[in-house]
Structure 1
């Protein structure tokens, strides 16, 4: 088989019998089905193909004496041992590690004299076997031939390189690599794979006269892509500078790149010197006596003279503290010595024309976790831990390689959970490193202190002030709050103390923790700036600019939280103003629970009554805080109602009127609705659209779904004209609920999906979860139980992430209905109990949910055949529906009770 098909050295003359024999040998010892044999032999099976196959088998038996081909009902089987077929014997030899013997079995291309439909895949598999033999035991010539035939096979090319290297032909091996790299780039647009790079490295390490490149005691983990990128840039550019904060791994990456460079490489560490030229001269091993000329030469002249005709890579480490001299000396070398390339590491750019910057950023979660595990297992063999906990520790250390290595070293004496708990005091925890490391790399504190000491006074002042920000800041915010200039801020970026991405500036938490020890208290300036930003944004949030302004505030979300937290502790008037100004932002982003927590904290700090002049803001806090408030919530609502009654004009923030109406629930009569709304609704288009939603809800709950739907359609159109996606989504969701009440699943899905799409644009977490619940209910109505379950569970996950208890209750209630429909009544009761436990206080929304839970409990009891229990639950639901003045629910419950009364 491994060449022309032969039996004991004899060729089978007839082509079709030869093909049949090859198929049987390929499956020696196994039955080959009739259809497989026919399809493999004939491009177009003839009439009576089974008889034709039988005839070919008979001829084969006659033409090859001693060949045993058994017939079975399913097909034919060649009786043979593995040693009888050369391809099977080849596999045995390979498994036994006898690749050279396996390779000797080959007499040419596999199945060389067979032409049939089955041949191509069979020949491909056998060829792969030949390549495996050649990789393990082939000669240089055989591998040369294989590379010529398969030029893009990197494993074959790597084997040829190693074979040439064993023959002492390193230059040819490097040429094979260079040809492969060029071919991969031209044909596939990719760099060499790790397999080919590893072979390249083996050759380079044997050939290159490295000078002083330090050997490493630990494995290189987590920067494979950086390694490939920097190696490529250094081939294409004469100066590449690795920049980044201290401890990110710049030096280690530079060393790994240096080890992969062909030719001469010199490594020079500038951290302990003030004389850059002398350090370079020493690092290159240049002796002054051999360079003396008639005229005395300076150190820099000698350096340039020594490098003028040399092809060398200079790896120059730790340039930051001698940055000006390093730039001058290296710039002179690059200008005078055309074959010199420089790979530098620094915490700021050298600023030389032609410099290519390669930022060495924090490790991603996967790489950081691998690094932690690698270093932890080195000090504590067998160490294993929850990957998520390790990833969280690494994230809190900003993915800084040195910090991760220092933390991993502590697993020898501390449990991982204890390490995680102590990271708030990270400088004390990570205070012990390698005794052989440079002093600035032995502790995390020393790493950051090294950068701090290199700053000017103005840069230190700004770095300390910048720590007031949580999650970074935009340019205007940073310069205004810190009272600094743009040039100083960009200088901190250049020196890797501050990062910039998407026009925002931020500090790594590790650097921020160090700089904060030198910071003045800018909490008031910070909070007032963000109050101004929130007040500036609020009207835009109710316009066509809604998405842009929500994004601006969302980018500063951590700062907004920090501002409210600071003000709650130091200035309650400012805290009340902030919560009020941010109400629209929080509501439109579906962060009602988070807003409630902030408002509740401010209320507790204020006590039972508002500060003078802050009554309106205090009332809005009362309305916001309901999801998390403890104690008598109805008393809080009454207090808010009383404060609202004192208002003469519409409130400063129109959303307050909406929240007031929601808190009070459905009105007792139309006169009350008009009295309150006319007095506190503004004349702007947004307030007019809100009024339509209110009228639509009142009509719907009053038992008039037609009028309710018409008003809500007008509201959706009005909000769309204004540009408010949240208001339009509110209207569409209510239209979906009306369609659900009427059993119209198709229209319900249309309205709900329109609303959900708008909420997705806003990133409104809690509102999106509610829309998913509505979609699940519509899906359930269509009979798609699996789809409904998927959506209920998705809504539960979304609402848990947001901490939204009432929304969680809605998801559990949906799962209860699903369990009832499928006949699992025990699960339905359990889900109802889960929903009930998640209904906080006595606000209107949770009260509505309790009413719906009581209805569902009644339906479960009715389904399982317990009318007495069902009646009790329906009567409870009726009491709640009457109190809430919700005629839709009241009518549905009365229908359930009436049905129970029918014998």
Structure 2
């Protein structure tokens, strides 16, 4: 049984700026002041006017004033309002393993936080965003929301900052160049090094900025043309395009016509191949890499060998934005430009084919991720899948909406089990699986896998009322169709349900049966290793220490042989449990801390909280027992269990060590100290709690009532994997 969580609390993550921020000083000051006095602020304005850029700059300026940081939720790739809560949870690096609605989770998790949440691109989800913002602000007095949208949210207490285009006329008597001209010059210098405003080009730049109404996106697109044209040629040709392209749009707002014309002109000046690629790239949601672009877009007029150069050309023309990461280069298209490309893709009747190719690529990403999840590349696989998450959502949505694709929706949702479980997206996984199962009731192999994955996720959420029937249907179908692999997984997950249902003897029988099936099939992966862990734990719960320890040793050897880390974190917990039973407190503490450290690298909430509760019990034992620290760790574990689900799954076997620790602390501490230690632990965020447990306690804990213990430097996620021997 395993599940992973993002951090319970984080200092926040805002994207780095890839181009300089020009102008907007007055608007930035106004927005900062608004956020300081109002809890909900929405920056409104047309596409391309710079709403997102201003909001992110303001958030970066204000972040230091929020102890829990500033966080960005990019909503443009989220098309289903039911996924809005999941997207915000992900942005806040929060995870809940229960079956509760995401909004309920957000309300609980944010209740005591002081954070700034940026909701970027709300216009297509405006009603859902208004409801979410209202609910969060009512429940979390320390939260502020900064939204960007082409229209207001119309939520209670909303303050608006309408964002106008950049001024393109010089102020009287000022003598300074207007901000639109400064932005154009800055972007022009990026494509023509040495370009600057000077007497010989200032009039032409002023004309351009006036013709483009000071709209930042239009100015950036125009600046990209300076590779081939002078400023004067650019202004003249743009004027021609305005006369040509605004015909038939007389009823549209002037600025809308300006932006559409500027985009249309950039489109006209692209080669036929660049236009075709622009249209095809519009199927991507969020970022993508060159490999994805080559697979999805090549063919029928685009040679794969030309894709790299064409992508580079679209970057030069500001149609694509290059995103440099650690060892990877990715690209994305601004929403306004993506909408324009999607229009041409639909007009050419090629949208369904391209969406299908897009889905096929990301089905491949999921399939390869499932393979690589077993072995030393798990952390890389998790990160690669995380980056692909917006596109995986789009691929699932297409498969569910397109008639005849339901089976592939089942395949994709089921194949992503490692992502739903391994990176803490249980609720979203259930969302996609439930939709796919409802659309495809016929007994296929894909449905069988989706059923056992659903049962697995529901078990981890503590929702046995859903888990048991799903697993029983999977088992029954597997027997009827002769699907031995599905049978093995169904029996395995039924064992998990029995284990948390306080029937370790029955659980052990089911795990043994599942492992027999796995061995017969030649199946060896992380699921199989987890079955080995769960069988060993069931035996330890029964008091069968000899066979339990033997099973743990086999699991440890297998993990080390294959470089498996995910299951090894749980193996270490079992090793700690067994060493404590044998009276070796030193090794038990060492194994429990290493289990916690490794699970923290995966942000594995269940593994962390199990290790923390065991460390709390160990703190009550031996000559260096510290009852205060034990109770602090119990308080921290209590907070984490709220996100996991029912504490210890309601199981006497899992809950026994916790109750024993609680009894010892109560007997050894006076009432006030007992309560104060628990409160201290319950205020620790995930990183701070893990750090405290790994360090063996803080010698000078902050006094009760001084607020949440803020995390110090982050734990090192790059620390090399080094299995601990027995």
Name the TM-score, length of structure 1 as normaliser. 0.42
Distance in 2 between residues matched to 1:638 and 1:692, nearest whole Å: 22
Indicate the residue corresponding to 1:487 in structure 2: 309
Does 2:321 align with 1:498?
Answer: yes
Contact persistence 2:168–2:213 (CA under 8 A): no
What is the CA-CA distance between 1:721 and the residue it aligns to?
A: 0.7
Q: 1:670 to 1:739 in 2, by over 3 A?
A: closer
1:365 aligns with 2:188: no
Deviations 1:802-831 (A, max 9, x none): x53246979998699388565659999xx9
Name the CA distance, whole Å, in 2 between partners of 1:669 and 1:488: 57
Is the CA contact 2:518–2:528 (under 8 Å) kept in the aligned structure 1?
Answer: no
Q: Is the CA contact 1:546–1:723 (under 8 Å) kept in the aligned structure 2?
A: no
Q: Pick the aligned partner of 2:278 from 463, 466, 487.
A: 463
Partner of 1:542: 374
Quote the offset at 1:669 in angstroms: 8.8
Structure 2 matches for 1:319-330, cutoff 5 A? Answer: none
1:635 maps to what in 2? 469
Partner of residue 440 from structure 1, selected from 204, 212, 221: 212
Q: For 1:452 and 1:791, locate their aligned partners in 2 and report how far apart those are by CA, in whole Å.
A: 61
Q: Which has the higher contact order (CA 8 A, sep 6+)?
A: 2
Cα pair distance change 1:725/1:369, threshold 3 Å: closer
Q: How far apart are residue 656 of structure 1 and its match?
A: 6.4
1:748-773 superposed Cα distances (whole Å, 9 cap, x missing partner): 32122222333344443543344344
Computing the radius of gyration from Cα coordinates, the structure with the larger value is 1
Task: Pick the aligned partner of 1:595 from 422, 429, 444.
Answer: 429
The structural deviation recorded for 1:638 is 2.5
Q: 2:594 aligns with which of 754, 767, 789?
A: 754
Deviation track 1:249-271 (CA, whole Å, cap 9, x = no partner) reads 9xx9xxxxxxxxxxxxxxxxxxx
CA shift digits 1:305-335 (9 cap, x unpaired): xxxxxxxxxxxxxxxxxxxxxxxxxxxxxxx
From 551, 565, 570, the counterpart of 1:725? 565
Matched, 1:619 2:619: no
Listed as ranges, the matches of 1:99-178 within 5 Å are none
Residue 683 of structure 1: which of 507, 519, 522 is its match?
Answer: 522
Whether the 8 Å CA contact 1:619–1:643 is kept in 2: the answer is no
Q: Does 1:507 align with 2:332?
A: yes
Shift of 1:423: 5.3
> Corresponding residue for 2:118?
392
> Does structure 2 conserve the Cα–Cα contact (< 8 Å) formed by 1:581 and 1:653?
no
Q: Distance in 2 between matches of 1:596 and 1:721?
A: 33
1:775 Cα deviation after fit:
3.3
Alignment CA distance shift 1:709-1:676 (3 Å): closer
Equivalenced residue count is 449
780 and 645 in structure 1: CA distance in 2 versus 1, 3 angstrom threshold? farther
Unaligned stretches of 5+ residues in structure 1: 1-214, 223-244, 253-359, 371-385, 398-415, 836-903
Match of residue 805 from structure 1: 645
In the aligned structure 2, how far is the partner of 1:480 from the partner of 1:642? 39
SS at match of 2:376: coil
Is 2:568 the partner of 1:713?
no
| Distance in 2 separating the partners of 1:685 and 1:715 | 12
2:147 corresponds to which residue?
420
CA separation of 1:563 and 1:809: change in aligned 2, threshold 3 A:
same
Q: Which residue of structure 2 lines up, in the alignment, with residue 476 of structure 1?
A: 291
Deviation at 1:734, TM superposition (A): 1.8
Determine the structure 1 residue equivalent to 2:385.
553
Map of 2:407 onto structure 1? 573
Q: Describe the SS at the equivalent of 1:500.
A: strand
> For the Cα contact (< 8 Å) 1:716–1:731, is it kept in 2?
yes
Name the SS for the 2:323 alignment partner. strand
CA distance in 2, matches of 1:453, 1:780: 73
- Check the 8 A contact 2:263/2:337 in 1, yes or no: no
Encode CA deviations 1:69-113: one digit per residue, 9 max, x unaligned. xxxxxxxxxxxxxxxxxxxxxxxxxxxxxxxxxxxxxxxxxxxxx
Pairwise CA distance, 1:574: 1.2
Q: Give 1:725 shift.
A: 0.9
Kept after mapping to 1: 8 A contact 2:421/2:457: no
- Aligned positions of 1:688-707 closer than 5 A: 689=529, 692-707=532-547
- Is 1:659 equivalent to 2:493 in the alignment? yes
In 1, Cα distance between equivalents of 2:572 and 2:594: 7
Counterparts of 2:620 and 2:400, CA distance in 1:
46
Residue matched to 1:784: 626
Cα displacement (A) at 1:546:
3.2
Question: 1:217, 1:725 → 2: CA distance?
Answer: 48
Cα distance in 2 for residues equivalent to 1:535 and 1:705: 38
| Cα displacement (A) at 1:614 | 3.1
CA distance in structure 1 between the partners assigned to 2:507 and 2:146 by the alignment: 62
**By how many angstroms is 1:695 displaced?**
3.9
After the TM superposition, which residues 54-93 of structure 1 pair with which residues of structure 2 at under 5 Å, given as runs? none
What is the alpha-carbon distance in structure 2 between the residues aligned to residue 653 and residue 499 of structure 1? Answer: 46
Aligned-residue CA RMSD (Å):
5.0
CA contact (8 A) 2:48 2:217 kept: no
